[in-house]
Each structure stands twice: as structure tokens, then as C-alpha cells.
């Protein structure tokens, strides 16, 4: 089976890769591009651990075929900090102890960043519903919500 050739931008870098028609974007990110920040928790779009953005839209990369990334701008957790400067969300997660095992953290950070880009002043309920597609089994979500609300406030300059 001949492989498909895909050109995309990943975290702002021009990227090319070869893949099978049936490969998911998640498996290409992890196994070919060595970007292992996105995780496979379920493979069926139910847990959100594989969250990335594609052309500005939050997606489960396990449900995106790699070939669909042709010409697209993909951002992953690896693109969230700028050099050694963490994004406010990343900083607040550490400050608020909003992670325990950390496996869901990349997906939740990508999702939360996407929310704040669309809605810089969400209510707690809006944050909870936006993040309903990201499962966390360790924290009970409490400190995650605190961290997102606090980061949103800081980013608004409040």
C-alpha cells in the first residue's frame, strides 16, 4: 500500500510526513513526529486526552485522519509555551495543583486555551461544560476549574 504524503504546519513549523490512509492524526503526531504530549486514552473521542487544535478548532486527534491534516495548522501542547515562558494556563495549573498524574493535563490545557480564545470571561458553569469532553480521573476537576478561572482573570488583566 503506497503511503500518502502530507504537508502541514505543526506548532508553527512546516512539517511533512508519510502515512497510511487509515492512520489517525494522533498516531502520526506520537509515532512519526515524536510529539508524545497528546495521549491515546480511548481511541474513540470520549476522553479528550488527544485534544489538539486544527485550523483553530478543538478536535480529538484520534478521530482525525492524518491525511485530513493536509494544508492545515495543527497546534499541540508542545506549542503552548514559548521557549521557557509558560502560558498563564500552564503556570496556574502548577500553582493550583490542578494535576495529579498529569495524563489528562495536555488535553485539558489545549481545550482550556481554546475556550479562553473564544470566551475570555467564562463562568464556572461554562468552563465545566466546555471541559466536559476531557476526562480526569484523579482530581475531581475542582482544582482544574480554579486554575482555568484564575488564568482567565490574569489574561483579562483583571
Cα dihedral value 143, 82, 40, 51, nearest 10: 70
Q: Is 17 in the site for other proteins (CB under 8 A)?
A: no
Q: Indicate which single residue of 43, 54, 73, 153 sits in contact with other proteins (rule: CB under 8 A).
A: 43
Q: Is 154 in the site for other proteins (CB under 8 A)?
A: no
For residue 102, which of 49, 156, 59 has the smallest C-alpha distance? Answer: 49
Q: Is 13 in the site for other proteins (CB under 8 A)?
A: no
Assign residue 91 a region: left if phi > 0, alpha if psi is -120 to 50, beta otherwise? alpha
Q: Is 12 in the site for other proteins (CB under 8 A)?
A: no
Q: Is 106 in the site for other proteins (CB under 8 A)?
A: yes
- Residue 100 CA from chain centroid, whole number: 18
Interface region with other proteins, contact rule CB under 8 A, candidates 2-10, 53-61, 64-72, 91-99: 91-99
132-151: contacts with other proteins (CB under 8 A): 132-145
Neighbours of 104 (CB within 10 A): 26
Rounded CA separation 126/115 (Å):
9
Rounded CA separation 85/62 (Å):
29
Q: How far is the CB of 42 from other proteins (least distance, A)?
A: 4
Q: Is 49 in the site for other proteins (CB under 8 A)?
A: yes
Query: Phi, psi at residue 73, to the nearest 5°?
Result: -100, 115
With respect to other proteins, which residue has the nearer C-beta, 71 or 134? 134
What is the contact surface with other proteins in residues (CB under 8 A)? 20, 22, 27, 30-31, 35-44, 46-47, 49, 76-78, 80-81, 86, 90, 93-97, 99-106, 109, 125, 127-129, 131-145
Amino acid at each position: 500500500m503506497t503511503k500518502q504524503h502530507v504537508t502541514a504546519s505543526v506548532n508553527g513549523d512546516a512539517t511533512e510526513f508519510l502515512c497510511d490512509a487509515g492512520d489517525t492524526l494522533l498516531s502520526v503526531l506520537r509515532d512519526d513526529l515524536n510529539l508524545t504530549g497528546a495521549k491515546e486514552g480511548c481511541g474513540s473521542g470520549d476522553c479528550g486526552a488527544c485534544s489538539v487544535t486544527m485550523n483553530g478548532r478543538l478536535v480529538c486527534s484520534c478521530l482525525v485522519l492524518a491525511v485530513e491534516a493536509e494544508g492545515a495548522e495543527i497546534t499541540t501542547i508542545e506549542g503552548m509555551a514559548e521557549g521557557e515562558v509558560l502560558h498563564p494556563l500552564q503556570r496556574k495549573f502548577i500553582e493550583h495543583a490542578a494535576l495529579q498524574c498529569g495524563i489528562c493535563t495536555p488535553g485539558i490545557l489545549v481545550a482550556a486555551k481554546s475556550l479562553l480564545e473564544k470566551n475570555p470571561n467564562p463562568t464556572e458553569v461554562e468552563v465545566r461544560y466546555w471541559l466536559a469532553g476531557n476526562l480526569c480521573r484523579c482530581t475531581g476537576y475542582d482544582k482544574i476549574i480554579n486554575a482555568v478561572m484564575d488564568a482567565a482573570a490574569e489574561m483579562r488583566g483583571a
